[in-house]
Amino acid sequence: MSKPKGFEKPAGVRDYLPHAVTKLRRIEREVLACMDRWGYRQIMTPTMEYYDTVGVASSTSDQKLFKLLNKRGTTMVLRSDLTAPIARVMSSLLKDEPLPVRLSYHANVFRAIEEEAGREAEFFQTGVELVGDDTPEADAEVIALAIESLKAAGVEKFKIAMGHMGYLNGLLQEVLPDRTEDQESLKQDLLNRDYVGYRNTIASLSLTEVQRDQLEGILKLRGGREIAGQALEISSNELARASIEHLSKVWEVLEAYDVSRHVLFDLTMLGDFSYYTGMTFEGYAAELGSPVASGGRYDKLLRQFGRAVPATGFALKTNRILDGVQGEEIVEELPILIRYTASHRKEGLAKASELRAQGHTVITSIIPDSANVRDAELPVVSGSLLNRGYREVITLR
């Protein structure tokens, strides 16, 4: 590749000009305030972590991690999510903290070569982790909070799909006991969202018709509350049954939150992250082509850091929301411009200071001695990306 030109930036990262920052900050502020009202307190962790700790635990595939070497030759990574760093903090700084713990965050994360549309290498996530509670109540709390957060971010039309890792695992164990390889290839088909491949794989295995129907049945397990019953008809495996019971209880709590109309069951959905162990969910907005939220239960992740406690959480893809959601137009107060000649400097700056104290935005500017009076009357703003004009121009001469 040729040497980059001076104005170029790497692919997958972007600049945000003030109008975009204003909108992004508002989404961030509203969402964090919403999380705060639910008792989630904000945490910040470093941008850089060790590859061997957070990098390995993060379950972002190796080739998608940004890696660097420090002076001693230790491999470092740029964080690819906040779940693994928070798990590290829970097992170190907060290791004696009574449970449950509720934490929120807003941070930029890094993934080299995203395979999905958009292909962002750096993007923003706003999310929560609820650590130390393995009840359906906790799973429902994070889903209900995800719904509130989407609303706070200005997303009007959205749906949440909720699934459970245990159901598929249980069903596979029942139909294909101890055939780990076959189980894995079926799971891989579903992870690739390749239902044709899934059916073909089933056809290639030597199975009875009943078993085939069982495995194909899972593809239809998407919809409302009734799906729980249908799922139980398909599999009588203990793990599958327990998973459905868990989801049904989550659903009951979501009904009590009065948000179940936003949620649908989807037992074909596997979380994109391998650390999910139980309930998983994704949020979709009508305006956007890819999911805006994802989350789930990860009961084994904290064990890797030495503290075996259950946890659940979610993250919003904040800049996707920024791109796709119109929201209300932000009406910002225009600044006041104070122009003064050298002899009126003290007076002008004092006036500016007085107006700023009242909460106004004030810009000051000197009128050069050489400028004639007409120039001084006309501050030029046309063609500017940043300057939208002034609320008032005060000229002191």
- Interface with other proteins (CB under 8 A): 115-117, 157, 159, 161, 192-197, 199-200, 222-223, 264, 266, 282, 284-286, 288-291
* 39 DSSP assignment: T
Phi, psi of 43 (to 5 degrees): -125, 150
Query: In the complex with other proteins, which residue's Cβ is closer, 251 or 284?
Result: 284
Query: In the complex with other proteins, which residue's Cβ is closer, 219 or 256?
Result: 219
Query: In the complex with other proteins, which residue's Cβ is closer, 104 or 268?
Result: 268
Q: Give the span between the Cα atoms of 212 and 206, in whole angstroms.
A: 9
In the complex, what is the shortest distance from the CB of residue 227 to other proteins, in angstroms, rounded to a whole number?
12
In the complex, what is the shortest distance from the CB of residue 284 to other proteins, in angstroms, rounded to a whole number?
4
Cβ–Cβ under 8 Å, residues 348 and 364: yes
Query: In the complex with other proteins, which residue's Cβ is closer, 115 or 369?
Result: 115
Query: In the complex with other proteins, which residue's Cβ is closer, 54 or 285?
Result: 285
Q: Is 274 helix (H, G, I), strand (E, B) or coil?
A: coil
In the complex, what is the shortest distance from the CB of residue 80 to other proteins, in angstroms, rounded to a whole number?
17
Question: What is the number of other CB atoms lying within 10 angstroms of the CB of residue 222?
Answer: 15
Query: In the complex with other proteins, which residue's Cβ is closer, 53 or 290?
Result: 290
Run of H or E including 122: strand 122-131
In the complex, what is the shortest distance from the CB of residue 304 to other proteins, in angstroms, rounded to a whole number?
28
In the complex, what is the shortest distance from the CB of residue 321 to other proteins, in angstroms, rounded to a whole number?
13
256 contacts: CB under 8 Å, gap ≥ 6: none
In the complex, what is the shortest distance from the CB of residue 31 to other proteins, in angstroms, rounded to a whole number?
20
Interstrand relation of 336-340 and 362-366 (parallel, antiparallel or unpaired): parallel
As a dihedral over the C-alpha atoms of residue 307, residue 309, residue 314, residue 319, rounded to 10 degrees, the angle is -10
Token output for 325: 């959601």
